[in-house]
A and B are shown apart, each in its own frame.
Chain A
Amino acid sequence: MNNPHHLNPTSLKSRFTTRFLRALTKIRAQKPISSSSPTEIFRRYRRIKVAADKSMAYSVRSRRIWSRAMLWKLRSRSYRRQDPCSGRRFGKTNQAIMKKSSNENTTTRREDGVGFVEEADELRQLVPGGETMNLCNLLDETAHYIKCLTTQVQVMKKIADFYSF
């Protein structure tokens, strides 16, 4: 009964792995029986990529600005696919996210004296929701985002290695 290697079942890694495997099962079930054409494989690759991001964002939930931004993006993406005219509906949600993330001092221009405005702007493009964050939040969110990315890579690599011997 005593398993010294037992990992915390509520850890981020564990939550992500469970969700992602579940998503993979669904994607696999959707495949048309006949073809493994390049188009089909490409479609699957795209679905898997979305599933990876979705699984991670849902594992983090709304505890982080970047995860909220990613969840919002994923949801509006799926809604838009069903109804191409629904884009405007999410204007309010975006404002809500912005209100939550930007505190007192928000604009990059104010931090002009610190000498890394360009690099910070570049970082904003890479971290989900980065454009709405003040500098402190951006640096804080980045650390967590990187931790989640490395977990994502680690788990996906293990799954891929496991099934491709």
Chain B
Amino acid sequence: MSSQRSTSSNKITDDKLNALILRLQTLLPQLDQSRHGRVSAAKVLNEICSYIRRLQNEVDGLSGRLSQCLDSMDLTGFDAEIVRDLLQQ
């Protein structure tokens, strides 16, 4: 029956969706699975949206900070050294 067919294809999609939502949940320390167990997909997406907004605001703020101290940046001679130092921390 066509309904059976649609149910089985929905099941695959549902499992896939659940896996994707679960992966997003692991990105959120505040929804750590060991403490919260099963959280609704809506809540996960909600928290994800807040998280993305927070990160974008941080980029904003850091751009502002960098615009202030751009003058004092000596980026020329020691480029490679700086990059290495930064990445090693």
Residues of A within 8 A of B (CB): 5-7, 13-14, 17-18, 21, 24-25, 27-28, 31, 36, 41-42, 44-46, 48-49, 52-53, 114-116, 118-120, 122-123, 126-127, 135-136, 139-140, 142-143, 145-147, 149-150, 152-153, 155-160, 162-164
Contact = CB atoms under 8 A, between A and B. Distances in A.
20 contacts: A6-B88, A14-B87, A21-B82, A21-B83, A41-B67, A44-B70, A45-B67, A48-B67, A115-B41, A116-B45, A126-B52, A135-B17, A142-B48, A142-B52, A149-B55, A149-B59, A153-B62, A160-B66, A162-B85, A164-B72
Interface of B: 13-14, 16-17, 20-21, 23-24, 27, 40-42, 45-46, 48-49, 51-53, 55-56, 58-60, 62-73, 75-76, 79, 82-83, 85-89
Contacts of A145: 52
A159 B41 contact: no
Given A28-B75, A163-B73, 11 more contacts: A27-B70, A52-B63, A116-B40, A119-B41, A119-B49, A122-B45, A127-B52, A139-B20, A152-B55, A153-B62, A164-B72
B59 A52 contact: yes
Given A116-B42, A142-B24, A160 B56 contact: no
A143 B9 CA distance: 24
Nearest to B86: A158
Contacts of B63: 45-46, 48-49, 52, 156
Nearest to A45: B67
Contact of A119 (B16, B46, B89): B46
The 6 closest A-B pairs by CB, nearest first: A119-B45, A139-B20, A45-B67, A116-B42, A44-B67, A156-B62
A73 to B, nearest CB: 14
B73 A119 contact: no
A153 B40 CA distance: 28
Contacts of A123: 45, 48-49, 52
Nearest to A155: B86
